[in-house]
Structure formats: C-alpha cells, structure tokens
C-alpha cells in the first residue's frame, strides 16, 4: 500500500503560505540530492534558477517522473519541465500525489521504461493534461527546443522534430497549439539565415538603389542619367522627349543597379544565406517547419496503461492481440484470398465498449485494471485459439474469425452476451457494448482493404 502522505522537500527559502510539518527544507540542490529521494519537490526559487534546477532534476532517475512544483514565478523551462504552480496547501499536494502514485506504481511494478519513447509517454501519462512544450531558445540552430525531450533523452541522440512527427503518425501523440512556423536551411537544418537582396541578373551582392525614370511611350526603365541629353529629358530607347511627369514619364519607386554587371532592374532577387553552413538558397527551397506543443493521444494513453499493467498484458496477450498494422495486413491478406477463391469464408467482429475510458478514469487505475481484467477473461471465453484480435483504442476491440461463416458468427455473438453481463454492476453501468460484424466474401466492398474495412465498421460503432 502507498504511504498516505508524501515526503515533501522544499528547495530555497521556506514558503510562508505552506504550513506543513512534513516539509523538509534544503538550501541548495547538492544537499537535496544527497538525501534519499523525496516524493514531491517544491521549488521556492526565482524562475531562472528554478528552470535550471528542473533541467537537472528531470535528467536524473530519482526525480525524472516526480511531481515538482514551482512556488514563485515560472519561465518557459519551468512550464515545460515542472508540474505548474505550487498547490496552496499540503492536502491538495497529497491528493495530486495520490493520483500520480497509483499510476506510478503500475509501471514501476513492470519494467521501468528503458526506451526513450516509453520514458516520454510515461512522463505524460503520469500527469493529467501534460504537454510537451516547445520553447524558444536562440542558442539552438532551429530556434526552438523541447526541454522535456532533451531532459529524457539521456545520452541518446534524438531529433525532436522527426521523433515528434513519427509519434503523431503512430497516433501516440496528438498535436497541440501551433506556436510558430520557422524556415530552415535545407542543407544543414539551421534556422540562422540571413536574407539578402542580390542582382537579378548575376546574383551579386553589391547592388544599390539608383534614381530612375520610366518612359510611358515605350515602357523603358533606366537610370535617370541616361535620360539626360543636353539639358533635356529624352528616352534613350524611343528618343521621345519627356516633358511632363505623370503623362510622359514617372519615377518608379525602387530601382537597383548592379555594381558588378551594371544591370539595371526593378526588383532584386532574395537569397537566404545559411549562417551555419554558408550555403545560399532561394527562399522557396528552405524547409518550412511548424513548431507545436504536443500531448498524449488517446491511443498513447491506452498503450501506457496496457504496457505498465502486468495483468492486462498477460490477459490480452493470451488473446493473440495484434498491433494495428499487423492486424490490417492480416485482414487484407484474408480478403485477397477470399476474393480470389471465394472461400474460406471469414468474419470480423467489432466491439465498442462505450464509456469504458471515462469509467476507468473514474474507477481509478487500480479498480479500472481489475475491471479490464475481468472483461479480458470473458472475451477469452468467446475467442478461439485461431482467432486474432486487435484494439485500436481503449474502447474498440476487433476480432478476426477465420473459417467462420454467418452461422458460426451467430454462435460467437451469443457467447458475447456473457461479456455484456459484466456491465450490469452499478459502478460500471455507464458502459454499454455495441457490436458490428461482417462475413466475407459477401459483405466486402470492392477495392476495400483491411484498414478501410475497419474504418467502415468503426463508423457504424460510433
């Protein structure tokens, strides 16, 4: 059982608003680290200092996942790495820590996350509404960094932007607020670019503005000096006399002369010169990148819950659970076979446990898992060794039944009613089970593959 009160350390001066006997005070980070790890840390420090302390604490195992609050003002580092402002009293800290502790115990029981990916997902999963925040930092060539990813990377080389987009593609993370749009050198990826005007003819840098005239009769534009002949204005191109500004000629706003090739032009070209690698690019060749905040997606939350609970993995493991891509591939292959040979028939069952996610949250991690286990047990009685299952999110469950025609499917559906019985208990009565099914080949649509089929069925369950 967890201890009911967390051990709380406070770093800095003692916060007068927090009156709690279980606080232990530390004047500097070295003495805090010398003591056995605390459950909760309060930073009573100015933002700049608190940010540096957070960077340090998040990069070492004892405080990597802990709740750390900032008692004073916060800067971007504090927001990206901390747990927000300090709660007003210690009972609130106790409640927040209780929630955190329940989840922490789950993954601490299993294997501690070894891979970078799991570390980040776990960090987010441990706290409600956590984000991976982008922070503007002139010291990095891309202008933005993700302090959380940097801190959890240990010594691994991680390209944050690439990694984040991969996580979004896999549905573990979802995009948050768009913070900025930056342009980067397509050669070295640096955002330190200098935009310069160059000669439109020879691309030389040495160009200057020059007073110029524009002849209305022939459209010629040239330096003013070329129009002056014996004290009168004469177009050097059509030789017409220019008398009245506005009707014979005018002065274009911007005109450049190249000191290198002597060309005369109205609009200069623009080049982006990379200050890091020295290469020049036309602006349209630069890499455009959106900078966003990110948070855990529904599928990512589900994965954490599944990964960290021994029993869940155990039970669902015996259900021959396949990952999304593997399941699609298997389904696509079965569909190809049945289209070609018209047999063997097979069926697909889609189950949706409506309100499951919400109910699990309400039950708390511990009871939620016990409940999931009993659902898995019942499902196991329904599913046969040769069936293959997959879960796309917490609520959706798919079963592929090979060699099963519509009659066989009916039998399986009847057995499913045993699963639905579980939802009659009052604390889980919000949950209901929706079922959809098809039998191949007759229910297949032309051109459909496994992924499209599941999407069609999922929309019927919505």
- Residue (19 or 194) nearer to Zn ion, CB: 194
The CA-to-CA distance between both ends of the chain, in Å, stands at 39
Residue 199 binding Zn ion, by CB under 5 A:
yes
Which ranges of 47-195 does DSSP label H, i.e. alpha helix?
47-58, 76-81, 90-109, 116-126, 147-152, 160-169
Number of residues that bind Zn ion (CB under 5 A): 22
Q: How far is the CB of 353 from Zn ion (least distance, A)?
A: 51
Question: Which among 176, 183, 80 is positioned nearest to 123, based on CA atoms?
Answer: 80
When binding is defined by CB under 5 A, the residue of 22, 201, 269, 448 that contacts Zn ion is 201
Taking CB under 5 A as the criterion, which residues in 330-389 touch Zn ion?
Answer: none
Q: What would the x/- binding string for Zn ion be over residues 174 to 193, using CB under 5 A?
A: -----------x-xx-x---
Q: Which pair of tokens denotes residue 408?
A: 């066989």
Any contact of residue 221 with Zn ion (CB under 5 A)? Answer: no
Distances (CA, A) of 129 to 47, 104, 272: 22, 16, 39
Instruction: Enter the tokens of residue 294.
Output: 């990110």
- DSSP character string of 280-298: EE-GGGSEEEEEEEEEE-H
**CB closer to Zn ion out of 70 and 185:** 185
Positions in 277-316 near Zn ion (CB under 5 A): 277
Is 237 near Zn ion (CB under 5 A)? yes
Contact 148, 58 (CB under 8 A): yes
Q: Which of 261, 260, 263, 268 is nearest to 223 (CA)?
A: 263
CB 67 within 8 A of CB 84: no
Closer residue to Zn ion in complex, CB, 261/363: 261
Closer residue to Zn ion (CB): 278 or 323: 278
> How far is residue 277's CA from residue 271's CA, in Å, rounded to a whole number?
14
HSE toward the beta carbon, residue 254, CA cutoff 13 A: 7
Kindly give the pairing relationship between strand 144-145 and strand 228-229: unpaired
CA 359, 364, 365, 370 dihedral sign is negative
From candidates 50, 258, 389, 428, binder to Zn ion by CB under 5 A: 258
- 250's enclosing H/E stretch is strand 249-250
Closer CB to Zn ion, 13 or 202, in the complex: 202
Choose between 190 and 210: whose C-beta lies nearer to Zn ion: 190
Member of 35, 166, 204, 370 binding Zn ion (CB under 5 A): 204
Measured from the CB atom, is 13 or 218 closer to Zn ion? 218
Stretch binding Zn ion (CB under 5 A), from 252-260, 289-297, 343-351, 402-410? 252-260
State yes or no: residue 215 binds Zn ion (CB under 5 A): yes
Measured from the CB atom, the residue of 3 and 208 that comes closer to Zn ion is 208
Q: Enter the tokens of residue 364.
A: 């708390």
Among 96, 193, 198, 274, binds Zn ion (CB under 5 A): 274
- Out of 130, 158, 261, 444, name the contact with Zn ion by CB under 5 A: 261
Residues of this chain that bind Zn ion (CB under 5 A)? 185, 187-188, 190, 199, 201-202, 204, 215, 217-218, 220, 235, 237-238, 258, 260-261, 263, 274, 276-277
């Amino acid at each position: 059982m967890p201890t009911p009160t967390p051990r709380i350390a406070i770093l800095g001066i003692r916060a007068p608003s927090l009156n709690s006997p279980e606080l232990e005070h530390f004047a500097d980070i070295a003495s805090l680290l010398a003591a056995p790890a605390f459950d909760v840390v309060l930073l009573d420090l100015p933002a700049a200092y608190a940010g540096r302390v957070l960077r340090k604490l998040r990069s070492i195992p004892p405080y990597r996942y802990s709740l750390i609050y900032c008692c004073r003002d916060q800067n971007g580092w504090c927001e990206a790495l901390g747990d927000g402002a300090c709660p007003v009293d210690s009972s609130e800290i106790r409640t927040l820590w209780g929630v955190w502790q329940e989840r922490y115990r789950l993954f601490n029981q299993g294997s501690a996350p070894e891979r970078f990916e799991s570390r980040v997902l776990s960090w987010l999963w441990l706290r409600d509404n956590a984000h991976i925040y982008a922070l503007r930092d002139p010291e990095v060539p891309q202008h933005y960094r993700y302090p959380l990813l940097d801190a959890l990377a240990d010594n691994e080389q991680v390209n944050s932007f690439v990694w984040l987009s991969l996580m979004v593609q896999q549905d573990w993370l979802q995009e948050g607020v768009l913070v900025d749009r930056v342009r980067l050198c397509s050669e070295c990826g640096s955002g330190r670019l200098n935009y310069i005007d160059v000669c439109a003819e020879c691309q030389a840098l040495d160009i200057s503005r020059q007073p110029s005239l524009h002849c209305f009769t022939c459209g010629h534009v040239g330096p003013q000096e070329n129009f002056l002949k014996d004290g009168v204005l004469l177009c050097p191109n059509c030789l017409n006399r220019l008398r009245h500004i506005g009707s014979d000629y005018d002065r274009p706003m911007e005109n450049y002369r190249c000191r290198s090739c002597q060309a005369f032009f109205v609009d200069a070209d623009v080049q982006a010169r990379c200050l890091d690698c020295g290469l020049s690019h036309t602006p349209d060749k630069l890499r455009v990148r959106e900078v966003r905040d990110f948070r855990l997606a529904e599928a990512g939350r589900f994965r954490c819950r599944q990964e960290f609970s021994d029993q869940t993995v155990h039970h669902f493991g015996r259900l021959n659970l396949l990952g999304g891509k593997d399941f699609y591939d298997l389904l696509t292959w079965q569909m190809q076979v049945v289209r070609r040979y018209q047999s063997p028939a097979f069926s697909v069952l889609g189950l949706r446990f409506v309100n499951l996610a919400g109910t699990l949250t309400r039950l708390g991690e511990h009871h939620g898992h016990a409940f999931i286990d009993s659902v898995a047990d019942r499902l196991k009685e329904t599913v046969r060794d040769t069936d293959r299952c997959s879960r796309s999110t917490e609520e959706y469950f798919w079963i592929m039944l090979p060699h099963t025609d519509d009659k066989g499917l009916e039998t399986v559906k009847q057995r499913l009613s045993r699963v639905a019985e579980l939802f009659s208990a009052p604390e889980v009565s919000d949950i209901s089970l929706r079922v959809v099914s098809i039998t191949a080949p007759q229910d297949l649509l032309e051109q459909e593959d496994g992924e499209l089929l599941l999407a069609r069925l999922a929309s019927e369950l919505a």
